[in-house]
Amino acid sequence: MIASETLRETVAIYVRHGWLLRRILATESGEKLNEFGVPVVQSSLDAAWFSRPPGDGAVAWEIRYLGDSPFALVEFLDESDPDFEQNLDHVEQRLAESVAKRKAA
């Protein structure tokens, strides 16, 4: 379960560096996550999607794992691409696989 205070701190760090919180993935539903004003999606892992305006080209999208050992994956995506959501799903799957490998080690 995502601790609201931890997520607030993480969001604050990302915002300071020009990132925008876009959606939250949560293993458990909770109204407390609605305070962030972004979609909350039921998931097998706790994570947050951020994006950053492009300098040139595609938008940087970063998914930050919010578990015990936080880490992130970054992709540069074209939001107008018809496969955009599928691309996000693919990155989420890669993150879930990475988390599973870390837990098994």
The reported pLDDT for the residue numbered 14 is: 96
The reported pLDDT for the residue numbered 33 is: 84
Residues of the chain with pLDDT under 50: none
pTM: 0.91
The reported pLDDT for the residue numbered 9 is: 93
The DSSP secondary structure of the chain, one letter per residue, reads ---HHHHHHHHHHHHHTT-EEEEEEESS--GGGGGG-S-EEE-SS-EEEEEE--SSSSEEEEEEE-SSS--EEEEEE-TTSTTHHHHHHHHHHHHHHHHHHHHH-
